[in-house]
Amino acid sequence: MSLSFNHNLEERYLLSLAREEVEYLRRLYGKATDALGKVGDQQATEFGAATFRRIFTPDVLVRVTGGPKALEGSGPDSWAGVVTNALKDYESTQHLIGTQVVEFTDVQFKDGEVLSGRAEMSSYLQAWHAWPDRSARIVLGTYYDKVRFNPGKGWQIYDMTLEYTSVEHRQMGDAT
């Protein structure tokens, strides 16, 4: 259900701000994932784990499907461990997020603020994973997120599925 046209101007403005906050969760996820891939960099690891705890609910369910190996986890710290393990052999990664679509399923307002809410979001993924031998693993996929508003915390993802579309391996050129 799209709520965009059933509200007054103030509520449409608040929905626009909420949409931006929801979309930002996925962008932060990309940055945190790349940070967790920097094995041995304590500051990056702490940033990645702290960001996961910010963007995910404590009971988040996470799944990766359609790829060579299904992955799953429950909770931000558990998922951070899965991500760190999955990225440990790469020299670097870059997760690019695009074509985000947010559909609010329920939003309640009070005194010019979001009181409660739920939404679903889909986001395209292009992820580059570089091995030390200058070869790359390129993953295309779509994230499907279920998000809810938690007072005192803001919008958080409580259910995430990454569905791989394709995986490609190729040789990279020099970075000069």
- In this structure, whether the domain defined by 9-171 belongs to CATH 3.10.450.50 is answered with yes
What's this model's pTM, rounded to 2 decimal places? Answer: 0.90
Would you say residue 37 has pLDDT above 60?
A: yes
For range 30-41, the mean pLDDT: 95
44-81: pLDDT as tens digits: 999 999 999 999 999 999 999 987 788 899 999 999 99
What pLDDT score was predicted for residue 6?
Answer: 55
Return contacts of 11-16, CB within 8 angstroms, 24+ apart. Answer: 11/109, 14/107, 14/109, 14/112, 14/113, 14/114, 15/104, 15/107
* Residue predicted with more confidence, 9 or 28: 28
Q: Has residue 1 got a pLDDT over 80? A: no
**Segment holding 48, helix H or strand E:** helix 42-55
Alpha helices in 56-126 (DSSP H): 76-87
What would you report as the CA-atom Rg of the chain, rounded to the nearest whole angstrom?
17
- Per DSSP bridges, beta strands 92-110 and 71-74 are unpaired
Question: What is the domain partition of the chain in residue ranges?
Answer: 9-171
The beta-strand segments (E) located in the chain are 56-65, 71-74, 92-110, 113-130, 135-150, 154-171
Q: Which whole number is the average pLDDT over 112-120?
A: 93
Read off the DSSP letter of residue 68. S
Is residue 108 over pLDDT 50?
yes
In this predicted structure, the answer to whether residue 5 has a pLDDT above a threshold of 70 is: no
What is the pLDDT of the chain when averaged over all its residues? Answer: 92
